């Protein structure tokens, strides 16, 4: 065995040892501290959350304030700031390096951000995360809503909104159940499906999938909608184009099926 080959073997052994040792670590060994933040909803014009590796839940609060519950460790914390213009900005700050991620077992409880807002809140809400889900439930929102994740699903249930709702994810589904808005809904997923149940819009319902199906029920009669639909490598129960109607249904699936029904 020559010297160069011995060096290669030694390097491989050293790297393997590092990975094994790191894999022995677990998220349960990290010390987390529960944090809370509250603000008067009347002073907030927009809520903007930017995080990574955290699931986010948006729900109704029991009073007239915004309440945020989250967890911090010695290597991960949040900057939370209510700015003079009314923007409530919350951003994850991390001091981790690659060794902190190898073999890490995620503790779901400590990787959750809960945002509770008053029913009928007029603030715009923007949520962005990665590798986890975004869940919106049982809430009335009078401002714009935008939710974006990567490697996680987006699910909205029993949501009533006055303005537009925008959702985008990758490698998972978008699920809309009993979502009603006077504005429009735009939902896009890559390598996932769009599943809607009793969804109602005032203007446009736009759904886009790649490697996933678009299925479910849309509130309103067939005659109420102008329809634009396109399928590549899949089946489609809708016409490619249909004129007329006060609202628009705009759907497209690449390598997936479209099967949508209209319900009163």
Q: Where are the domains of the chain?
A: 36-151, 173-264
* Residue at token pair 């809520």: 47
- ∠ at Cα 2 (9, 17), nearest 5°? 10
- Residue 97 confidence (pLDDT): 55
Residue 30, pLDDT score: 81
Between CA 118 and CA 59 the distance in angstroms is 9
What are 231's strand-pairing partners? 253
Give the pLDDT of residue 95: 79
Query: Helix (H, G, I), strand (E, B), or coil: what is residue 42?
Result: helix
pTM: 0.86
Token pair for residue 161?
């909104």
Report pLDDT for 21.
Answer: 43
The CA R_g of the chain, rounded to the nearest whole Å, is 23
Q: What is d(CA 91, CA 246) in angstroms, rounded to the nearest whole number? A: 40
Average confidence (pLDDT) per 10 residues, the chain, 264 residues: 52 48 52 96 97 97 97 94 97 70 63 97 97 97 97 97 97 98 98 98 98 98 97 97 97 98 96
Note whether 180 and 160 are within 8 A (CB). yes
């Amino acid at each position: 065995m020559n010297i160069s080959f011995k060096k290669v073997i030694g390097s491989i052994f050293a790297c393997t040892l590092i990975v094994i040792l790191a894999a022995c670590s677990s998220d349960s060994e990290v010390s987390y501290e529960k944090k809370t933040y509250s603000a008067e909803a009347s002073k907030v014009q927009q809520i903007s959350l930017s995080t990574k590796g955290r699931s986010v839940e948006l729900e109704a609060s029991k009073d007239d304030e915004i309440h945020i519950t989250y967890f911090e460790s010695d290597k991960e914390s949040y900057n939370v700031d209510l700015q003079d213009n009314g923007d409530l900005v919350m951003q994850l700050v991390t001091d981790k390096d690659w060794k902190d991620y190898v073999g890490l077992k995620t503790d779901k409880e400590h990787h959750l951000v809960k945002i509770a807002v008053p029913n009928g809140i007029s603030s715009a809400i923007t949520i962005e995360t990665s590798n986890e889900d975004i869940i919106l439930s049982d809430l009335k929102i009078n401002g714009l809503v935008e939710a974006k994740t990567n490697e996680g699903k987006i699910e909205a249930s029993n949501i009533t909104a006055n303005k537009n709702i925008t959702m985008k994810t990758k490698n998972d589904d978008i699920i809309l159940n009993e979502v009603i808005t006077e504005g429009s809904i735009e939902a896009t997923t890559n390598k996932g499906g769009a599943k809607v149940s009793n969804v109602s819009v005032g203007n446009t319902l736009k759904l886009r999938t790649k490697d996933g199906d678009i299925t479910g029920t849309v509130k309103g009669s067939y005659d109420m909608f102008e329809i634009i639909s396109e399928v590549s490598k899949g089946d489609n129960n809708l016409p490619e184009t249909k004129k007329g109607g006060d609202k628009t249904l705009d759907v497209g699936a690449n390598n997936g099926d479209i099967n949508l029904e209209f319900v009163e």
